[in-house]
Structure 1
Amino acid sequence: MTIPESIKKFITWIQGFDHRILQNEDDVKEKFILPMFHYLCYPEICHREYSLKTYQSETYARNPEIAQIYFATDDVKQQNTDTSLIFVEAIKPYKTKLNDVIEQAKFYSNHFKTLFFIVTNGYEIKVFKRLHYNREELVFDLNIDALRNNDIASKFYHRLNFDLVKNIDKNTVGILTYTKYNLIEKLIIHHPDLQDFLEKCDFEPSITREDYRLVVVKPKVAIACNLPKAFGEGNCQIEFSSILFRGLTIHLNHQDILGQLMTGLHTQPDWGCRRFLNPLDKNNFTVNLGQTTVILSKLEATDLCLCIDEVCQEYQNLIIEFENALETWDFKLVKFSEIRGFILFSVRQELWELMQQFVNEFNYTKGKSEWHLFHRENISIRVSRGIRDHTFIFPKFNSDLSLLPNNKINIIYELNDVILQSIETGKLTLWQQDIGVRGTWTARYTQQWLLEKYIPKVINYYSEKSQLSEAELLAKIINDESDRMLIKEIDHIRDLASYLRDIQSWLHIYVENIAASLLKPYYQAYTNLVRNTDSSITGIDYIFGNLRRVEWKNTPEENYSNSTDWKNLTFKHAIDCLDRQVVRINNSEYENSFKADLITRIFIWIIENGRISFSQAQLSAAKQALIPLWEQSRFEMRYIYPNQ
């Protein structure tokens, strides 16, 4: 099939575009957005700029950015909400915290009533379709590297070119699908024979597992998942038994699974805990899976959730299993170019040069001493004895291969393909037998070996040749790793605060509701722990300020703000409020993350500022309740919210 010339020009432009030339928002607009819409065939006269400060709200008035609007007509007098097509907001290059920007773009897109809104930093591009009866649909979520693919670029052009978009009837978009679905649903409900016929098309429920292949089938939904191997990436395919979706297969990649499906496991569809589900009405849900949006009945949504629970729980377990086995949790995960790994510590240039020199001199092909362990593979350092690879070390340089700021070089525990392939070829449980001092080293052991054996050996070996003393070289090691105690080993109540801060940071960005089962023991244990706090604690206004915000959305008769002078309340009243929250959560199926955030802030304040009398049993219960919640927050902050 011959590719139209307009698409060829778009592909040629995007493949030649270098996002590294972008320095600020103006560059993103002038060098990326305007050229892109030129090659999407939008006439320049159909483009206008608007200062967002002109359309202020309490939420967004502080952001006076310039937005780009594209219209269906070149008649300036007719460029209004009826003819608006696309709203585009440019943000700073390399800025990755997009949630607030997306919410702002959605707000203004609704104001201008555009068909699409786009948020881009010149590298990442998120394209949303604005719909009438359900939330916006994420049409494209990609970056420049992906867009250089001919097929993806063609799909992008076909979906967003001027001739196609200007002919969309914005007054009916989104309505037809919903109307059609409702008509079919009513037809099925009023014709029992048809219902019986359709039920015969249901899948036969089953769960099958073979190595890293998991297939979960419920009557209405089937998910076949390739589970992740050794920090690799999995994927899945979703199919429906409904005659409405016959032939539809939804493909989700690793990021889709983590970003859309992983939150709210083991919760009901109508609890508001799952980010891919939105209630359309009492019996139907809008479901966003990857770049596909479907409308499902409550029964179909329930089966989908049950399948996702099985798949994602195992998906999460495998990721946690690899991190536990390789002892990587305490180190920052980094990805750049083709490298994945964990930052163990940092050194300055002088020490790194000595480390490299030692590696070259003690290559394992040059001798058989106990220190002939090394081999250079490009920039990576391979630590090995014969055919047994222990670990790979990689120095973190920036994109132009110059040293990092202040000549600091991060030492990376590299997830090298050589080691990963040996793990991947093993069975599900047998691969762990290779982890250890004589086999594949963990990140923890690698760090200790480098700091306690290798670097001292390097310094001692070159002590006479180096212009720097041993103390000066050791001072150039920068170890950012936290030295806090493990939760189970904590004996002092204030040592809990750092873990509570981790949970609070997670709750602060968590936009969905949370299953109450995860919070019930937490609320109870920490209310009991701080119950006997000296009444002279400072910051009582801060405590009641947060409690007032927690109780604001409760019923008026429970709301202190309607019946009591908050200024005259004591710490005893604060405990009474917390006790009410314990009763409330014990009678709830889910909790608002904002309330959980506020209550956690209260616990942190009391622990850090109060004189608390507590028993060993209360402390033990608090630690036990903290572990599952903190581990969940740790996983999600690592894998679901990596850019927050």
Structure 2
Amino acid sequence: MTIPESIKQFITWIQGFDHRLLRNEDDVKEKFIFPMFQYLCYPEKCHREYPLKISKSGKYGINPKIAQIYYTTDDIEQQNTDTSLIFIAAIEPHQNKFNYSIEQAKFYNNYFKTLFFIVTNGYQIKVFKQLRYHREESIFDTNIDALRNSALASTFYNQLNFDSVKNIDKNTVSILKYTKYNLIERFLRRYPDLQDVLEKSYFEPSIMREGYRLVVVKPKVVIACNLPKAFGEGNCEIEFSSIILRNLKIYLNHQDILGQLMTGLHTQADWGCRRFFKQLDKNTFEVYLGQTTLILSELEAIDLCLCIDGVCQEYKNLIIEFENALETWNFKFVEFSESRGFILFSVRQELWELMQQFAHEFDYTKGKSEWHLFQRKDISIRVSRGIRDHTFILAKIDRDLYLLPNNQINIIYELNDVNLQSIETGKLTLWQQDIGVQGTWTARYTKQWLLEKYIPKVINYYSAKAQISEVELLAKITNYTSDRALIKEIDNIRDLAPYLRDIQSWLHIYVENIAASLLKPYYQAYTNLVRNTDSSITGIDYIIGNLRRVEWKNTQEENPSNSTNWKNFTFKYAINCLDQQVTRINNCEYENSLNADLITRTFIWILENGKISFSQAQLNAAKQALPPLWEQSRFEMRHVYPNR
């Protein structure tokens, strides 16, 4: 077959392109993107550039970016979301972490409504297709070296050249795909004989668990999951029994499971609590799993939810059990190169060097005193007696992230593979029996031992040999501690506010609905707790404003901020509003996260600024209602949102 001249020219150009000449983002745009689209036959006048402004929250970047958009027309007045074809985002050459840039491109592409969006650093090229009823689909994840293959370059050209792309009907293609599936599903439902055949091919429901392998089976869905060990990563594979989806296997990695599946557990698909579900009509759902988008029937959606609940609840439990056992919740998790751990505190660089020197001098092979318990492993301090490892201490000093002002460096409780070997190879529950002073030290105990025993010993040992200031070295230790009281020990209601602030921060970024069962006792207990607040509380306009916004959102009445002077309302009115929200949520299955955010802001303000008369029973009820919500917010802020 004769290759068209336009494809030959594209292949010749891509085979001769040298990405090593690219020095910055402008080079990627000028020397790679523009020539590539010229060889893909896009008219120059169909191209426009747009500055991408920073969102108010700063979430989408620090520096403004430029979007490259190609349209079907060169008429500027007709260049809009109906005629947009391709969105291109250029990133710095040699930058290999694409996740942030892809998320940024997806965010902005929601406004431009293009058929494709591309993220490239001039060497790697990631191309995504996005149609009306479908989440983005990765169609090319390649690089310049691979594209030098003539067959791949031809495929790339045929899918992305100007004539091919401009002839795609955005609406018709998506609707046809969705309608085709819907018709097949309805057809199968109409004919009992075919339905009998399908029922015989359904999976046999079961739950199988062997060690860290969990398989949950429902009639229409099966999920086989490798659960996470310690702070390791798990994964899963999803299959469907449907004749349409048979033989499709969807693989999800650790980040996919946490970032997509973990929110909205034990809720129904049509509640809007699960971020990977989109309801298309009463009996049909669009579901995106990893990079795969499916259209499922109501029954398939129900079974998928049940399987996810079974797998993700156990997945979550193991992560929580590990953090609880090693007492790591109060420390910031960090991951860098091939190391990971928790920041305990920071010290002057001089002190860290003395700590390393002491560990080298008191290697366990050099003596038998109580302090001969160290081994050096790479750059870590390994606290050990022979084969019994207690803990690994690491100070990361070669990156600005860990090198603090005034020569302060962070001391990190390292999750070392050697120390976690018993978890990796042992039985599911036996590893916890090794945790303690004589075995594996927790993060909390390690910090205590370092501050109270090891560092004083190091300073005392070397102060006699060198002119060092013990007072200065100890004064420069920055101890990252939380001053908040434990929930069960709280007697002053203002001590509840820091926990509510954690919840509010989580709700503020939570875009899905929340199961009402989680909020009902919380709304009730805190409304009762603040019920007897002195009416002279400051900020009544702020309180009423929050509560009126909740009412406005629920009733869709005219925004009261345009017509009402909230300062004329009293605190009694505020309590009546809160009582109405308690009544409302008791009759709901789910709650909008913005409502919960505004109500939590109201509780925080009253606790911090009001003079409140309360009983012990009211305080106890508030303390009892707090942990389920706060612990979920803590888990998701730590493990779910960093993976989105």
TM range, smaller chain: 0.7 to 0.9
Asked if the contact 2:50–2:68 (Cα under 8 Å) also holds between the matched residues in 1, the reply is no
- The within-5 A match list for 1:165-204 is 165-166=160-161, 167-168=164-165, 169-171=167-169, 172-204=172-204
Q: Any idea what SS the aligned residue of 1:263 has?
A: coil
- The within-5 A match list for 1:147-546 is 161-166=156-161, 167-168=164-165, 169-171=167-169, 172-399=172-399, 403-546=403-546
Residues 1:643 and 1:447: Cα distance change in structure 2 (over 3 Å):
same
CA shift digits 1:374-424 (9 cap, x unpaired): 111111111101110111111122448994554221111111001122211
Asked if the contact 1:38–1:44 (Cα under 8 Å) also holds between the matched residues in 2, the reply is no
Deviation at 1:481, TM superposition (A): 2.6
Asked if the contact 1:556–1:562 (Cα under 8 Å) also holds between the matched residues in 2, the reply is no
Asked if the contact 2:87–2:109 (Cα under 8 Å) also holds between the matched residues in 1, the reply is no
Deviation at 1:213, TM superposition (A): 0.4
Deviation at 1:357, TM superposition (A): 1.3
CA shift digits 1:448-499 (9 cap, x unpaired): 0011100000110111344431110001111123231111111111111111
Distance 1:316 1:151 in 2: 39
Deviation at 1:48, TM superposition (A): 3.2
Deviation at 1:441, TM superposition (A): 0.6
- Structure 2 residue 614 is matched with structure 1 residue 611: no
CA shift digits 1:261-297 (9 cap, x unpaired): 0000000000000011001111100000000001000
Question: Which residue identity lines up with residue 139 of structure 1 in the other structure?
Answer: S
Asked if the contact 1:550–1:598 (Cα under 8 Å) also holds between the matched residues in 2, the reply is yes
Distance 2:365 2:160 in 1: 63
Residues 1:332 and 1:42: Cα distance change in structure 2 (over 3 Å):
farther
- The within-5 A match list for 1:605-644 is 605-642=605-642
Q: Any idea what SS the aligned residue of 2:173 has?
A: coil
Structure 2 unaligned regions, length at least 5: 1-7
CA shift digits 1:185-208 (9 cap, x unpaired): 221122222122211111100000
- The within-5 A match list for 1:48-87 is 48-52=47-51, 65-70=65-70, 84-87=84-87
Deviation at 1:298, TM superposition (A): 0.6
Structure-2 residue corresponding to 1:116: 116
Distance 1:178 1:323 in 2: 44
Q: Any idea what SS the aligned residue of 2:554 has?
A: coil
CA shift digits 1:590-609 (9 cap, x unpaired): 00001000000000000000
Asked if the contact 2:403–2:410 (Cα under 8 Å) also holds between the matched residues in 1, the reply is no
* Deviates most, 579-588 or 550-559: 550-559
Question: Which residue identity lines up with residue 165 of structure 1 in the other structure?
Answer: L
CA shift digits 1:573-592 (9 cap, x unpaired): 00000000000111000000
Question: Which residue identity lines up with residue 335 of structure 1 in the other structure?
Answer: E
Q: Any idea what SS the aligned residue of 1:439 has?
A: coil
Asked if the contact 1:533–1:612 (Cα under 8 Å) also holds between the matched residues in 2, the reply is yes
- Structure 2 residue 25 is matched with structure 1 residue 28: yes
Distance 1:467 1:6 in 2: 70
Distance 2:574 2:546 in 1: 10
Residues 1:496 and 1:415: Cα distance change in structure 2 (over 3 Å):
same
CA shift digits 1:312-352 (9 cap, x unpaired): 00000000000000000000000111111100111111111
Distance 2:490 2:125 in 1: 45
Asked if the contact 1:551–1:558 (Cα under 8 Å) also holds between the matched residues in 2, the reply is no
Q: Any idea what SS the aligned residue of 1:265 has?
A: coil
Question: Which residue identity lines up with residue 164 of structure 1 in the other structure?
Answer: Q
CA shift digits 1:505-557 (9 cap, x unpaired): 00000000000000000000000010010000000000011111111022378
Distance 2:599 2:401 in 1: 46
Question: Which residue identity lines up with residue 509 of structure 1 in the other structure?
Answer: I
* Deviates most, 94-103 or 28-37: 94-103
CA shift digits 1:113-162 (9 cap, x unpaired): x212356899999865321234x3253899xxxx78999999xx789934
TM-score, length-scaled by structure 2: 0.87
Question: Which residue identity lines up with residue 160 of structure 2 in the other structure?
Answer: V
Distance 1:581 1:77 in 2: 48
TM-score, length-scaled by structure 1: 0.87
Residues 1:342 and 1:315: Cα distance change in structure 2 (over 3 Å):
same
* Deviates most, 475-484 or 533-542: 475-484
Distance 1:223 1:149 in 2: 36
Distance 2:443 2:18 in 1: 43
Deviation at 1:622, TM superposition (A): 0.5
Distance 2:16 2:362 in 1: 49
Distance 1:361 1:123 in 2: 49
Distance 1:477 1:299 in 2: 58
Residues 1:83 and 1:567: Cα distance change in structure 2 (over 3 Å):
closer
Question: Which residue identity lines up with residue 234 of structure 1 in the other structure?
Answer: G
Q: Any idea what SS the aligned residue of 1:286 has?
A: strand
Residues 1:243 and 1:402: Cα distance change in structure 2 (over 3 Å):
closer
Same amino acid, percent of matched pairs: 70
- The within-5 A match list for 1:123-142 is 128-134=128-134, 136-137=135-136, 139=138
Question: Which residue identity lines up with residue 109 of structure 1 in the other structure?
Answer: F
Structure-1 residue corresponding to 2:108: 105
Coordinate RMSD, CA, aligned = 3.9
